[in-house]
Structures are given as C-alpha cells and as structure tokens.
Amino acid sequence: MARMLLREMTEQEQLNLWAMTKHPGFDVFVALMDDAVRESAADPIRLDPVGTENYREVLERLTLTARATNDFCMSLRSAVMAHVNAAAQKQMEDEEEAKLDEETDKVQSTIRLLDLHDNEQ
C-alpha cells in the first residue's frame, strides 16, 4: 500500500519539487521507476519452476521484492503528486490574495480621491 512521504515538507520544498517535475529529466526518472516495477513484476513469471532449486522460496522472495518495488514507486509518485498539487493550490491562493489586495488598494485609493475631492468642494 502506498504511503504519503515527507508530510511536513516546507512550501519552498514543494515548489522545488514542482519545478523538478517540469524538468525533462523527470520523465526519464518516472520511466526508470516504471521499468523497475515491470521488471520486478516479471521476475516471478520468468522463474523456471522445473530448473530452479528451492523454487517456492525463490518465488516468494521474488514476489515480495516485486510488491516492495511497486509499493515504493507508488508511494514516491503519490507523494510527488500530493506535494505538487499542494504547491499549486498554495500558489493559486497566493495569486488570488494578491489580486484581492490589489483590488482593495484600488478601491481605497478611489475612496481617498473621492474624499479628497469632496473636501475640496
């Protein structure tokens, strides 16, 4: 079962991770993980039941390795996506807050100008 990794990542670390996912090398990293999962899942199938001494023990070990590899890669990918999504959400919230602050400043400036204009009359 996939686990969430590094739950207490800082916002800057999340942004760094997000930036890393945009790098072309990240797709290669994902492909490496996918290949590791495929290869480890295929190992038990490739095992020769006739020509392998201690077949059941070797099969069990290979199956456990495949499950562990799959779990690790799923945990890593899930954590990356969760942190990237959190960084994206935080960035959207920050942008919305900045827009709201800008609009508030514009309204306050307009009110000051109107007030100044009213006081002049």
Higher pLDDT, 113 or 30: 30
The closest of 45, 41, 49 to 65, measured between CA atoms, is 41
So what's the pLDDT on residue 95?
83
pLDDT of residue 50: 93
91 pLDDT band, cuts 50/70/90, is: confident
Q: What percent of the chain has pLDDT over 70?
A: 94
Q: Give the global pTM.
A: 0.69
Q: Tell me the domain boundaries of the chain.
A: 11-120
What does 30-60 look like in DSSP terms, one character per residue? HHHHHHHHHHHHHHHHHS-TTT-TTHHHHHH
Q: Using alpha carbons, select from 41, 25, 44 the residue that is nearest to residue 74.
A: 41
End-to-end, the C-alpha distance of the chain in Å comes to 73
Quick check: 68 pLDDT over 90? yes
